[in-house]
Every structure is written in structure tokens, then in C-alpha cells.
């Protein structure tokens, strides 16, 4: 295969006499005209600057620059303090009016007016979009494709589902009704590894209850884990991890799970305060964050959404380094249920960052907010006749970005594929992530009139464009994601 590629590139080099030989970095010698053009292209900005200075110096006498500078200096020195007070007050008034208008626009449309104008109108004028386009087959294009390939494949890894269901209160009910197990062995094995990472530490052997719980998290049989949790509580009535296990696996309702998590919270706070300077302080922090997060999810499922939002916000303020837990995705879903779209936009502005791993929740929620402003009046016939407005273009581009990140989601949102219970782990950009997102967010899309209609009109063209532009990239990502999704689903 490598020899074939080498001969193909060599043949192309022979067919094009001026093409450099691959791997050697050599090309035909440049003439003096080419060297002059290259030198002028590299020093273009410097030449323009020098030309401007020379022109200014040449016109200093006709323009009377010295006299004008002297007049301006005299005018500024004659200004009284009242002028500066009036100038400051006027600028403050204008800034206040701009701030009030920006605040009103943000709360009404869920986006910044200044940012929207900058991206939609100023950026094309400044050449922000054309400068990044490279010719297909060029070295820059090849490097960009290679970078994107590594980026896409690196994102194809398994993450813990931030909205995972409760085993006893939700997954087990499915088993009672259907007689089938909703979770695969691979998924549960990953959860067991997570539990051992979050809830155990090297000093557990010093405490008998933690030693028992360390064995409990390794047990495969649910009754054996529950029995071990009760043994740990007999040794130590304030064993927070034992209450966590019982709330997750033994409680058959959300109310029972919340009651056990509240007991775990009381025990966890006591242990956390005692272990501030201890070696196991990190483990106790993980336990406390996990308990509070699950309590927020219990409140969300029981309809106390504002309480859930408050717990999540406090948790994110108190433990900001734990962004890997993706608590902001729980917060996004709860805020969407409250229809607090301005707050949703604020969360997206903070977490939709290139330094953080993206997710379907972030991409499709951003698309939903852009769609919300135009979906109720959108009509394909009208759009084809008069063209798309600026807001409609922004919505369509947001859907394009979301579909590019995970093309599996629209089929579940449009109910072209049936939903199943989401797994405890998801694969970014995979089918499992699409199921988990649609399972919790389909209701939010249905609530906004015309949102699914605009999604349906947009996503098929996006998928076709992605297949034609980067079919190899999508194929490689699909191979990696499909194998992991099979294990998870």
C-alpha cells in the first residue's frame, strides 16, 4: 500500500514537471521575478506603512500640518473642566443606553445583538471567512484534513452519561415490565470502574466500613453489593458511600432514592469537614459532589426544578475544577424545562468553548436557541422564494454545526428511529450519545413551535454535504464509534 502511494505521487510529479518531489522538499529553481514577487508578498504591510509615511512627509507643506497641530493643541488647552464633565456624562449616558438595549435584546432573543452583528455583517467585510479557505489538495488543506481527522477520532471515546438514570428506581422497572436487562455488561463494567475511582482511595484499609465498600464496588451481583452496603452501615452508621449504593440500586422509587441520598449527604458533609487535611480528602470531595448532583437530579425528576437548578449552580460555584463531570449539561436540561432561555444562553456562552470537549447537548441546545427565534414563522416555500433572513441563516448554520458534530441525533428527534433507555456511558459523536440526548431533550424541541420542522428541512442537506466533503473522515469516525456503540447498546 505504501509503495502504491509512492508510485502514484511519483507519477503525478512526472506528469507535472514543476511539481516538487514528495518527501524531498525540493522544487525547480526560482527565477529573479519569482523571488522578487515572493519578497514583495512577504513585506507588503511594511511597504505600505513606509509609503504612507513618505506621502505624509511630502504633503506636510500643502496640508499645513504644523499649523493644524498647533491649532489643535491650543484648542485642547483652552477647554474648561465643564467640557470634560459634560463629555463624561454624555458618554456614560450613551453607554448606559447601549447596555440597556443589549440586555433587553439578550433576554428577548437569547443572543447578543453586538455579537450577532459582528459575526453576520462585519466579519464578512473584514474577510474573516475567505482567509481560512484553502484549495483542495494544497499542503494547507492536507494539514487541516489531517488535524481534523485526529481531532474527530480523539473525540470518539466513552464518557459517563451526565443524565444517567437510577438503576433501582428506573432501570429495574424496565426489567420488571419486559424481563430484559437495559444495560450491557460492558456498560456496567465501566460504571464499576468509575465507582472504584470516585469512591475508593488507598487508605480505605484503615477503616473497616470503607474496606467493605471497596469490595462492594467490585461485586458483579447486585444483591451482593446491597448486602455489603448494609454490612458497612453496621460497622459505621455514617458511611456515605453505603447510602449512595443503596440509593442507586435498592431504592425502587425516586422518593426513596432521595431519602437515602439525604442521609448520605449528612454523613458525607461530616466526613468532608473532618478530612480537609487528610490523604483521602479528594475521595470525600468526589463523594460529596456525586451526592449533591444526584439530589439535584432527584429534585428535577420530582418536579422541583428551581431547587434542582439552585443545587447545580451552587455545586458549580463550590467545585469549579470538576468540569469533567459535565454538571452544566444537567443545568442546561433543567433550565430548558423552565423555559429560561436567556439563562441557557448564558450557560452556553461559558461552556461552549474550544478548550472544553463539546457534546451533543451543547451543540444542539445552541441550535435550538437559534431555531427558536425563527421557527414559528419559517416556511420552506417562502424561504425559497424570498431567501433566508439573517436570523434564519444563523439558525441553519447552528443546525449544520450540530449535525456535523453528531449526525445521529436528528433521526431520534424526528422520531424516525425508536428511542430506548440511554446507557450509563455514551460515546461522543456516536449513536449512544444521540439516544441519551434525544431521550431527555425531545420534549424541549417539541415545545418550540416549528423547531422540528426547521430541523427536518435542514439536516438531510447537511448530512449529504458532510458525506461529499469528508467521506473518509466520517468513515473512520463511524468505524470507531460503531464498535463502541455496539458494546454500549
* 352: containing domain: 143-162+346-489
The whole-number pLDDT of residue 461 equals: 62
Please state, for a pLDDT cut of 90, what percent of the chain lies above it.
Answer: 29
Please say if the pLDDT value at position 34 is more than 80: no
Residues 317 and 421 in one domain: no
How far are the Cα atoms of 209, 231, 267 from residue 205, in angstroms, in the given order?
9, 15, 19
The whole-number pLDDT of residue 58 equals: 76
Beta strands of 151-261 (E only): which ranges? 158-160
Residue 13, in any domain of the structure: yes
Q: What is the maximal distance between C-alpha atoms in the chain? A: 98
Query: What does the pLDDT average to over 83-94?
Result: 88
Quote the cell numbers at residue 172: 429495574
> pLDDT band at 56, cuts 50/70/90?
confident
Residues 436 and 311 in one domain: no
Better-scored residue on pLDDT, 147 or 76: 76
The whole-number pLDDT of residue 106 equals: 72
Q: What is the mean pLDDT of the chain?
A: 77
The Cα–Cα gap between 262 and 467 comes to 50
Residues 227 and 254 in one domain: yes
Q: Residue holding cell 444537567? A: 330
The whole-number pLDDT of residue 282 equals: 81
Residue 104, in any domain of the structure: no
Please say if the pLDDT value at position 327 is more than 50: yes
> pLDDT band at 322, cuts 50/70/90?
low
Query: 10 Å Cβ neighbour count for 436?
Result: 31
Residues 172 and 213 in one domain: yes
- Count the domains in the chain: 3
Q: What is the dihedral of CA 30, 33, 37, 39, to 10 degrees?
A: 70
Rounded to the nearest 5 degrees, what angle is found at the Cα of 359, between the Cα atoms of 170 and 188? 40
Residues 211 and 315 in one domain: yes
Quote the cell numbers at residue 368: 435550538
CATH code, domain with 316: 1.25.40.10
Residue 90, in any domain of the structure: no
Residues 306 and 392 in one domain: no
Helices first, then strands: H and E counts in the chain? 25, 2
The whole-number pLDDT of residue 228 equals: 92
Quote the cell numbers at residue 451: 423547531
Residues 312 and 370 in one domain: no
Please say if the pLDDT value at position 216 is more than 80: yes
Amino acid at each position: 500500500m505504501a509503495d502504491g502511494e509512492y508510485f502514484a505521487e511519483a507519477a503525478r510529479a512526472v506528469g507535472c514537471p514543476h511539481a516538487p518531489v514528495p518527501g524531498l522538499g525540493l522544487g525547480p529553481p526560482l527565477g529573479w521575478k519569482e523571488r522578487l514577487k515572493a519578497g514583495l508578498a512577504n513585506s507588503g504591510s511594511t511597504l505600505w506603512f513606509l509609503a504612507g509615511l513618505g506621502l505624509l512627509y511630502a504633503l506636510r507643506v500643502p496640508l499645513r500640518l504644523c499649523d493644524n497641530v498647533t491649532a489643535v493643541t491650543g484648542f485642547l488647552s483652552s477647554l474648561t473642566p465643564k467640557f470634560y464633565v459634560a463629555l463624561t456624562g454624555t458618554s456614560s449616558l450613551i453607554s448606559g443606553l447601549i447596555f440597556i438595549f443589549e440586555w433587553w435584546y439578550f433576554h428577548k432573543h437569547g443572543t447578543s445583538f453586538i455579537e450577532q452583528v459582528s459575526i453576520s455583517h462585519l466579519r464578512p467585510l473584514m474577510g474573516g471567512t475567505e482567509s481560512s479557505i484553502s484549495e483542495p489538495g494544497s499542503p494547507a488543506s492536507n494539514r487541516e484534513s489531517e488535524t481534523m481527522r485526529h481531532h474527530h477520532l480523539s473525540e470518539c471515546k466513552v464518557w459517563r452519561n451526565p443524565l444517567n438514570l437510577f438503576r433501582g428506581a428506573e432501570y429495574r422497572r424496565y426489567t420488571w415490565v419486559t424481563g430484559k436487562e437495559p444495560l450491557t455488561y460492558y456498560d456496567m463494567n465501566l460504571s464499576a470502574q468509575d465507582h472504584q475511582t470516585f469512591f475508593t482511595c488507598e487508605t480505605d484499609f484503615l477503616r473497616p466500613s470503607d474496606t467493605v465498600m471497596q469490595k462492594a464496588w467490585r461485586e458483579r451481583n447486585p444483591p451482593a453489593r446491597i448486602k455489603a452496603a448494609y454490612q458497612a452501615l453496621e460497622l459505621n452508621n455514617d458511611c456515605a458511600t453505603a447510602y449512595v449504593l443503596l440509593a442507586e440500586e435498592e431504592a425502587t422509587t425516586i422518593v426513596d432514592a432521595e431519602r437515602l441520598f439525604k442521609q448520605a449527604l449528612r454523613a458525607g458533609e461530616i466526613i468532608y469537614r473532618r478530612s480537609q487535611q487528610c490523604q483521602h480528602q479528594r475521595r470525600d470531595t468526589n463523594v460529596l459532589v456525586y451526592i449533591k448532583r444526584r439530589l439535584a437530579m432527584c429534585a428535577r425528576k420530582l418536579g422541583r426544578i428551581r431547587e434542582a437548578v439552585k443545587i447545580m449552580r451552587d455545586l458549580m460555584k463550590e467545585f469549579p475544577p470538576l468540569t469533567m463531570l459535565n454538571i452544566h449539561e444537567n443545568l442546561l436540561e433543567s433550565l430548558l424545562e423552565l423555559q429560561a432561555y436567556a439563562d441557557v444562553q448564558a450557560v452556553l456562552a461559558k461552556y461552549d468553548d474550544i478548550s472544553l470537549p463539546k457534546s451533543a447537548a451543547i451543540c444542539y441546545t445552541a441550535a435550538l436557541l437559534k431555531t427558536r427565534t425563527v421557527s414559528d414563522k419559517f416556511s420552506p416555500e417562502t424561504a425559497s422564494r424570498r431567501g433566508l433572513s439573517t436570523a434564519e441563516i444563523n439558525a441553519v448554520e447552528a443546525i449544520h454545526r450540530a449535525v456535523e458534530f453528531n449526525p445521529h441525533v436528528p433521526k431520534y428527534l424526528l422520531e424516525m428511529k425508536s428511542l430506548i433507555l440511554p446507557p450509563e456511558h455514551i460515546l461522543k459523536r456516536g449513536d449512544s450519545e444521540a439516544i441519551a440526548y434525544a431521550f431527555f431533550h425531545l420534549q424541549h424541541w417539541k415545545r418550540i413551535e416549528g423547531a422540528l420542522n426547521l430541523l427536518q428541512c435542514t439536516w438531510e442537506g447537511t448530512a449529504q454535504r458532510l458525506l461529499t466533503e469528508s467521506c473518509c473522515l466520517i468513515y473512520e469516525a463511524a468505524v470507531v464509534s460503531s464498535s463502541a456503540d455496539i458494546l454500549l447498546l
